[in-house]
Structures are given as structure tokens and as C-alpha cells.
A and B are shown apart, each in its own frame.
Chain A
Amino acid sequence: MSLLTSHPIRRGLGLVGLALLCGTACEPNNQGYAPEQPVVYSHAVHAGTMQIPCQYCHFGASESRYAGVPPASICMNCHAQVLPEHPEVQKVAAALAENRPIEWVRVHRLPDHATFDHSIHVAADLTCQTCHGPVETMGRVEQWAPLTMGWCLDCHRQGGGIETASVAARPAGRGNELTDCSSCHH
């Protein structure tokens, strides 16, 4: 007589237990998050068709922790000449004229106690797409990767999968591996 089949109540309890076991592995994350932005801006046009390098606008990426959202003046470098009459461009122009930042909605947000430094990852020759996905095809930007700790570790466990000066420069030994807590939590 099996514990799981003999009685409806026992069977029910067994199924609940099984569901709990399986369910715990499916923790929610923000993958696929694509909020509406105050200015309709297409990465597909700018980074895809126009082939503008990512770091033309997100110039902080190679220099600092933050890639940064470009100031309106960067947009106007081109748009002063290109499509100045476009209604979305006019929103940007207005913001610049009023010296008021555009209230972009943040898409990528890491948990509070994790530090992510863009410059280290750029210096390690990772492409932006490794983490952000094919942004050059996105009309509206979405969070492409799950950005969970486990997902970060998929790379970190392979030593980043890369042999670069910055990885080689890390002193060898315990406490200095890419999978140590303090690599990201500091």
C-alpha cells in the first residue's frame, strides 16, 4: 500500500509536498521587463541600422562602475541636424532647453548588496550584448538576462571564460577567485 495512493488525503499531502519541492527552484526575476519610456527611443534604429557604437552614448561603461544614461546634449549632437522636427526629438530638445533631465525608467536593477562594475567587465573584453542581449534589435529596451546571482556565476565559475590582463593581475589563491563572495559583495 503506497503512502501516496492509498487515501485521498494522503495523496493530497504528497502532491503538495512535491509541488513545494519543485516550486522552490522557480524563483521570480525581472527577465523580460520592458517598461514604457518617456521618450520613444529605438535602440534598433540607433545601434542597429545606424551602427552607433554603444559607448558613444553610454560613455561611462569603460571608465566607471556605471555605463550611464546619456545626457540630452549627447542626443542633440546629432539631432540638432537630424530630424529636429521629430516630436520625440523635440521632447529631448525641450528637456535640454529647460535644463531638466529626462525621467528614463530604469530597466536593469541589481539586488542591493551586489556591486557590478561596468569598467572591469568592459576591460575584460566582454561585449555589452553578453549581459544586455541583442540591444541593437530592440525597439524598446528590455531586460534580456535574468540577472540572478546564479546567472552571473555561470560566467564567473569559468574564470570569466577569458584570459585578460585584469584577470591575470588578480593575486592567485584563496580569497581572490572570481567566485568569492567579496568579488561582488563589497
Chain B
Amino acid sequence: MLTTEPGGVTTATAPREWSPTRRIHALIFSDPERTVQAVRLLKSRNFIVVDVHTPFPIHGLEEELGLRPTRLGVVTLVAGIVGGLIALWFQIWVHTVDWPIDIGGKDDLALPGLVPVTFEMIVLAAALATVFGLLWRRGLYPRLEGERVALPHSRVTDDRFAVLVDERNARFDPRRFVETCRELEVEEVIEGWKVQ
């Protein structure tokens, strides 16, 4: 899946969509604050930081990476409104158009009685859309056997933080990159993690 955001492609995606010459290096850290500082320094030196893999969300990192705010909230809102309107329309249609039945002498169009189901359907539609929106947008689905998970380091879900640097940039200077890595006291550099 190709993302449309500025700053490159995501690493969670199928390798086939990557340009054959692109190499991505993974800089491994074991401290969240050092990771954020590293991203800042790398960006200030015009390296392209594609993504950072972390075991827990680090606030502020998305701004450092220049990621646009997610529009998931819009999905939730729209799904809620649509779900609610459909639920309300269906109930009204059932009770006034399709088959008006006299139940306990209530009016056919007894709106207060339709509130609970409408409300529940708003919540249900919004929640389903939010979760499946997240899964779809980030390509999260049950991986079958043999399908590789794009992990830069086997411990990024544990206690390591991986900063991914793309060498596509024309100004990418390998010597300067090594220097910067040394300066940052990187725990480990995985060169050419992801080469196609």
C-alpha cells in the first residue's frame, strides 16, 4: 500500500512497491528521548527519516516526522451520522410505511421510542468504521504463514526504537551518515534493511 503522505512510503507495505535501488537503514536506540533527538538531528542534516518503529507511542514524534494529522475522526463522524440516519429511516419506514401495526395504542411515528436503537446504531457504525478504517489504512490484517512482517529489528515491539533513514535523497552522503550515527551513539545500525 502506497501512502500519500509527504515524506516517503511506509515500511509496513509490500516490498514490491519499492524502487529497486532504494535502501533503508535502521538506526537502533534503546531510549525514547534519544530517539526523538536523533530524528531531530537527522532531519536537520537533511536526511530523510521515513519512519520510526517504537514499542509504544512517543508523543511529538509524528510532528517531528512531519506526518499530517490523521483523518480517522472524520471517518468516525461520517459513519456515525450515516449509521444513525439509516437506522432512523429504517425504523420510521417499518412503522409508518411498510407495516403500521397498532401496538399498545402507540402512535405509528413515536419518535422517542426510536431513540435507543438509533443511538446504538450510531455508536456501532462509528466504532466499526473507526476500527476497520484503522486496519485498512495501515494494512493490518491476519498474516498467513510465510507472510513477512516488516520489522526493522526483532525487539521494536519490546525495548528498542528503530529510526529508518532513506538514502534516496541525492544529498545523501554516506560518510556524513556514518559520522552522524557515531555522534548519536547509535546502538546498532542495520544497513540496507530492506533492499530490493
Do A and B make up one complex?
Answer: yes
Would B144 and A3 count as touching, CB distance under 8 A?
no
A179: interface (CB < 8 Å): yes
Contact between B141 and A7, CB atoms less than 8 A apart: yes
Give the docked Cα–Cα distance between A175 and B103 (Å): 9
A-B Cβ contacts below 8 A, count: 17
Tell me which of B102, B132, B136, B141 contacts A9 (CB under 8 A): B141
The 0/1 profile, CB within 8 Å of A marked 1, for residues 110-147 of chain B is 00000000000000000000001000100001101000
Report the minimum CB–CB distance from B51 to chain A (whole Å).
20
Find A1's partner among B1, B102, B132 (CB 8 Å cutoff): B1
Q: Check: B41 CB closer than 8 A to any chain A CB.
A: no
Q: Are A10 and B141 in contact (CB under 8 A)?
A: yes
Total B residues in contact with A, Cβ cutoff 8 Å: 10
Q: Which residues of B contact A (CB under 8 A)?
A: 1, 99, 101-103, 132, 136, 141-142, 144
**Beyond the given A3-B136, A9-B144, A180-B101, could you list 14 further A-B residue pairs with CB under 8 A, ordered by the A residue number?**
A1-B1, A3-B132, A7-B141, A8-B144, A9-B141, A9-B142, A10-B141, A174-B102, A175-B102, A179-B99, A179-B101, A180-B102, A181-B101, A181-B103
Q: Measured between alpha carbons, how far is A8 from B136 in the docked complex, in Å?
A: 14
Residue of B nearest to A173 (CB): B102
- Indicate with 1 or 0, residue by residue over A171-186, a CB within 8 angstroms of chain B CB atoms: 0001100011100000
Min Cβ gap A104→B in Å is 37
Q: Inside 8 A of B144's CB, which chain A residues have their CB? A: 8-9
Closest CB in chain B relative to A17 CB, distance in Å: 12
Interface residues in A1-23 by Cβ distance below 8 A to B read: 1, 3, 7-10
